[in-house]
Amino acid sequence: MKIKLSAAALVLGACLLPVAIYAADMAKSGAPTNTNETPGETIKDNGRADPAHRSVHPVDDSVITTKVKAKIVEDKRTRADHVDVETVNGVVDLTGTARSKASAARHVTLARQVKGVKSVKNHIQIEPVVNAAAADQKADQPRTAAKHGSNHPVKDTEITTKVKAKLLEDKTISSTKIHVKTVNGVVTLTGDTKTADESSKAEEIARGVEHVKSVTNNLKVM
């Protein structure tokens, strides 16, 4: 009788063993290999961009950046400074140089006035005063030929920024698909528009910006 029971137990154990191994494997595969690992850390460890420095809403941030730049070039107290603007998730980061602490503070004030801005980081450095001799020497340096670049890069940058801002204000235009470049007051529009009327409207807006000499419309109607 004992021999029969032992044989039955062996048969039952042999049947249950594969089931137990399968359950253990399933439990092991379902458990995280490292409870401290997060998607962000994995991306960072692989050498990609840290998600903390990437925008969740790149189009909205691009609009904010353009509007902040427009305010800077339209303000007499800040237009002569060399300040760069970058926006990530509504947080504006100001870098570059300003002529004074008051001017740097003015940049921050202007940025905060733009709709959608959550906060402003001020990393603007105060530019040392350049003596007159150095300024004269710089002015005497030969300028780049007009067909290879701008003779008035600061002024052209102001025009480009203002044109972009005007396009953004018009809700009938897909401004995010239009690229603007200015060389010596001549504005070139490239990119795509939905209709011919939209293309004409973009050109009209560009012509209406102060100091624009002419507009080259290379927009494609899709």
Main-chain phi, psi angles of 86, to 5 degrees? -135, 140
Contacts by 5-8, CB closer than 8 A, 24 or more apart: none
Question: What are the extents of the domains in the chain?
Answer: 58-126, 150-221
- pLDDT tens per residue, range 27-76: 444 444 443 333 333 223 333 334 455 778 788 899 999 999 999 998 98
Sheet with 119-126, strands from edge to edge, namely: 82-88, 91-98, 119-126
Query: To 5 degrees, how large is the angle CA 208–CA 77–CA 151?
Result: 55
Structure tokens at 6: 């032992």
Q: Which of the four CATH numbers 2.40.128.260, 3.30.1340.30, 3.30.360.10, 3.40.720.10 does domain 58-126 have?
A: 3.30.1340.30
Could you tell me if 198 and 174 are in contact, meaning their C-beta atoms sit under 8 angstroms apart?
yes
- pLDDT tens per residue, range 169-199: 888 888 778 999 999 999 999 999 889 999 9
Structure tokens at 138: 């710089």
- How confident is the prediction for the chain on average, in pLDDT? 75
- Whole-angstrom distance, CA of residue 186 vs CA of residue 97: 27
What pLDDT score was predicted for residue 177? Answer: 84
- pLDDT tens per residue, range 130-157: 543 444 454 444 444 344 567 878 788 8
- Whole-angstrom distance, CA of residue 16 vs CA of residue 58: 57
Q: Which of the four CATH numbers 2.120.10.30, 3.30.300.30, 3.40.50.300, 3.30.1340.30 does domain 150-221 have?
A: 3.30.1340.30
pTM over 0.95: no
